[in-house]
Amino acid sequence: MTETVDDLIDKAKSLAEDFSRTAAHHDATGAFPFENFDRLFDVGLLGLVSGRDYGGHGEGLTVAQAVISEIARGEPSTALVLAMHYTSHFAIRRLGKWPRHLAERVLLANRQGVALINNAQAEPRIGSPAHGALPETIARRDGDRWRISGHKSYVTGIPVLKWVSLLAVTDEKEPRLASFLVPTEAAGFRIEKSWNATGMHATASDDIILDDVSIPIDDVIEAQPATEPLRRDEHAAAFFFGLLGAVYHGVARAARDRVLGFASNHTPASLGTPIATVPRIQDGLGEIEVRLATNARLLRSLGEDVDAGRPVGMDGMHVRHVVIDNAVSVTSLALELAGNPGLNRDFQLERHHRDAITARSHAPQSHMIRTIAAKNALSRLNRRHQVRHALGLNQI
């Protein structure tokens, strides 16, 4: 690959402009944007984070965030599906936990055509694994095969996925919590249309039903004792949260562009000059710029740390929280500044706002992030008290 980072981001910008022309249609109808993924494959962006040995560009989080933000500026449902795909390919390349035969299967297919992958973890009754409950999806061993039955929800991008990385509990004497590579064309695998959300309507985050789906015994991506909490690598988590933030940062940028253009050109007869000259409007536009600049700086810093392999702890989760809150605030403020014209569906500001508020449904939700942060802070305080007590310092 001889393309520079700027070349790759320029490709994303060009595609975003094209995707923006049909974004309102996909939002209104919920029709999945298959053609967008054909275009992404044609320009080589489906392999952005895949290893160079498999025809990819080998890029990290910083570049992936820039590409995702641009695509989201044009059509955010496409960007969210792409972000999920990148997250799996990052795990294959950087973490090295995937069995070689499964990694090669996924990577070779990604080089040959539109062959996306996403996790399938949430379930209707237990919600996300972030809530701590074991999945009710069961993988039963049958000779040299696994037979899997269960029901998964919110499988984003399912119409275009070639595989899902499916979380299930094995029926072994000592059950394991495992991720299985399941092809979406397998017998007994079916899609149940369930996604009809206010925002991100074209993500097709539908349910899947598995009825005794059979896969080879060796198609286990990774496994752990079911008695232990689900393990999550801090860099893999930060990569996902960084890309998630980048999606909604792109949405907020699109809203900013629309309201900025409107304020610069809309000239009420009673004012005789564009509303951008009004101090109150300037204050609102300035707040939007501050929030977007904060998001960009946070995302870039997180990306650089992950790419350098530096410890990030829970920072990915914290950055995602702030970025999404800012994106919602930006789109809400843009609507307020545009007044009645902003509520017109043809203007699309209300679409950007609906897309942004949908971000708050991603697990772990903001209140869970804050609770985790509080517990971590209290735990650190308790450890300090214990150390001081052991050293006899509490009496000083």
Secondary structure (3-state) at 207: strand
Q: Is the pLDDT of residue 190 over 80?
A: yes
Query: Rounded to whole angstroms, what are the CA distances from 49 to 38, 95, 138, 200, 303?
Result: 18, 13, 32, 24, 13
Rg of the chain in Å (alpha carbons): 23
Q: Is the pLDDT of residue 284 over 60?
A: yes
Residue 263: the pLDDT is: 97
Q: What are φ and ψ of residue 212, in 5° steps?
A: 60, 45
* Closest by CA position to 82, among listed 126, 121, 38: 38
Share of the chain above pLDDT 90, in %: 86
Residue 93: the pLDDT is: 92
Residue 199 DSSP label: S
Q: Per residue in 346-391, pLDDT tens? A: 999 999 999 999 999 998 888 888 998 888 888 888 877 777 767 7
* Closest by CA position to 19, among listed 89, 55, 70, 63: 70
Place of tokens 């870039």: 300
Confidence bin at 46 (pLDDT 50/70/90): very high
Total residue length of the chain: 396
Q: Is the pLDDT of residue 61 over 60?
A: yes
Parallel/antiparallel/unpaired status of strands 176-183 and 161-170: antiparallel
> Of 388 and 339, which is predicted with more confidence?
339
Query: Rounded to whole angstroms, what are the CA distances from 65 to 4, 32, 71, 197, 242?
Result: 16, 22, 10, 25, 7
Residue 246: the pLDDT is: 98
8 Å CB contact between 148 and 168? yes
Confidence bin at 394 (pLDDT 50/70/90): low
Confidence bin at 197 (pLDDT 50/70/90): very high
Secondary structure (3-state) at 221: strand
Q: What is the mean pLDDT of residues 231-258?
A: 97
Q: Per residue in 303-330, pLDDT tens? A: 999 999 999 999 999 999 999 999 999 9
Whole-angstrom distance, CA of residue 268 vs CA of residue 310: 53
Residue 177: the pLDDT is: 97
Arithmetic mean of pLDDT over the chain: 95
Residue 381: the pLDDT is: 82
pTM metric for this prediction: 0.94
Residue 395: the pLDDT is: 56
Identify whether 99 is preceded by a cis peptide bond (ω within 30 of 0): no
Q: Per residue in 157-184, pLDDT tens? A: 999 999 999 999 999 999 999 999 999 9
Residue 384: the pLDDT is: 76
Residue 390: the pLDDT is: 72
Find the angle CA(385)-CA(388)-CA(392) to the nearest 5 degrees.
135
Residue 364: the pLDDT is: 86
DSSP 117-186: EEEE--BTTTB-GGG-PPPS-EEEEETTEEEEEEEEEEETTGGGEEEEEEEEEE-SSS-EEEEEEEETTS
Confidence bin at 248 (pLDDT 50/70/90): very high
